Amino acid sequence: MSSVRRAQTLSALREQFDAVLEPGPHGYYAGGSGDEVTLAANERAWSEYSIHPSVMVDVSRRDPSVELLGRRMPHPLICAPFAYHRLAWPDGECATALGCGQANATYCLSTLATSRPAEVATAAPGTHRWFQIYVFKDRAVTDDLVAEAVDNGFEALVLTVDLPVLGKRERDIQNNFTIGDAELVPGVAAAGGKGLISMQDTADLIDPSLTWKDVERFAAQSPLPVIVKGILRPDDARKAIASGARGVVVSNHGGRQLDCVPATARVLPSIAEEVNSEVALIVDGGIRRGTDVLIALALGADAVMVGRPILWGLAAEGATGVETAFEILIDEFDRALALSGCPAAADLSEHDHLVTPAKRSAL
């Protein structure tokens, strides 16, 4: 057993992350776009709901499990896709995937990963894996990456639709932040990236001309379920479903793309109403507490993606830190299930008036 006491709170992991990273990667991971209005709104918005607990309910047995895409998951937490893990930890995505497996969380590998799908599958064969797609202008590169993911046991494709061009990220501009040599990022090197690259150079390789027709084609050809990530409007959720998506992720990219869009917690209820359980509904953005997870499920989400807290854990302690970040959230979620008097995660959205808006901010 390790003699090092594990972090008990996400804020402790965040302090470690703040302490170990250089300003360039730190700004890239922590920052958002524009004035970071949406970045701040995402975290705040979950606390703008109130939970109305029922008491004197037998909560001696809790069931945090949920069903998603035909699979029962032991809890509703998924690791959001994010780029360039080797900037935070030497084994990069392989360490993240291992930590996810230790916490029974599904891991979503980014197209902009610093490890190939096959490497991640070998490093963490027991971890449930999804693959996130940015469509490069050179479509053959995307097709190859998808084929490698399919061949290596990935279970779903997550098509990110909110990055036709890059949001203006001023921390990166101020830090003159570069990721390193293009060879570090296999997808980017294959798509034509050369030499020292910035996030802007990478984004320039992505195709900004995609439309719902492409989603339709993609879903029709994919051997795996396709999930569309980056939905903020009910009508777009409907278009995703009509295009063949088996799931949608309500997401504003963690406040990193268009600034001044609403917090995901705020748009989730209207999108849940439109989706009406026809496909899997996932939400991300500002999930930092077990109570945030409970509120998301009560508002109609089937599962949540966790973003930056996983990076805090990865930068602090590699795979162990990733596992710790999930365990903190799972423990808090378990307490929230007990204390709300609704011990089964799958019943949260049916519980009468469990969650109501408390107050509203501008976004």
* Residue numbers at the binding site for ligand FMN (CB under 6 A): 28-29, 42, 80-83, 110, 112, 132, 160, 229, 251, 253-254, 256, 284-287, 306-308
Residues 152 and 144: beta-carbon distance below 8 Å:
no
129 close to 97: Cβ distance less than 8 angstroms: yes
- Nearer Cβ to ligand FMN (258/344): 258
Nearer to ligand FMN, 110 or 142 (CB): 110
Is the dihedral angle over the CA atoms 331, 336, 339, 342 positive or is it negative?
negative
Q: How far is the CB of 69 from ligand FMN (least distance, A)?
A: 18
185 vs 272 by CB, closer to ligand FMN: 185
Q: Which of 26, 75, 128, 253 is catalytic?
A: 253
For the CA atoms of 102, 106, 112, 118, what is the dihedral angle to 10 degrees?
70
Task: Name the minimum Å distance from CB 179 to ligand FMN.
Answer: 11
For 271, residues 6+ apart whose C-beta sits below 8 A from its C-beta are 231, 232, 233, 234, 237, 248, 250, 281, 300
Q: By C-beta, is 33 or 342 nearer to ligand FMN?
A: 33
Please indicate whether residue 253 is annotated as part of the active site: yes
CB of 112 to ligand FMN, least distance (A): 5
- Rounded to an integer, what distance in angstroms lies between the CA atom of residue 318 and that of residue 294? 27
Would you say 124 and 96 are in contact if contact means Cβ atoms under 8 Å apart?
no
Closer residue to ligand FMN (CB): 80 or 188: 80
- CA nearest to 8, candidates 344, 335, 341: 335
CB-CB contact of 83 with 93 (8 Å): no
- In the complex, what is the shortest distance from the CB of residue 319 to ligand FMN, in angstroms, rounded to a whole number? 18
Minimum CB–partner distance for residue 287 and ligand FMN (Å): 5
* CA proximity to 265, closest of 247, 248, 250, 249: 250
Helix (H) or strand (E) holding 229: strand 226-231
Q: Which residues are catalytic?
A: 253
